[in-house]
Amino acid sequence: MLRAGLLADVVVLDRDPFADPETLRDARVLRTIVGGRTVWRA
């Protein structure tokens, strides 16, 4: 659960992984956030 004021580790994908789980292996990572800081972005 995300809550205001707390840090979270998040990966942002180029698609909804729940829309078609069969295509998840083809998803691209657009951004990775660790401890509230972007550590990688496409």
Return the domain boundaries, the chain. 1-27
pLDDT of residue 6: 86
- pTM for the predicted model, two decimal places: 0.75
What is the DSSP secondary-structure string of the chain? ---TTS---EEEESS-TTT-GGGGGGPPEEEEEETTEEEEE-
User: Tell me: the pLDDT tens digits for 1-17?
Assistant: 778 888 889 999 999 99
- Say how far residue 14 (Cα) sits from the centre of its chain: 9
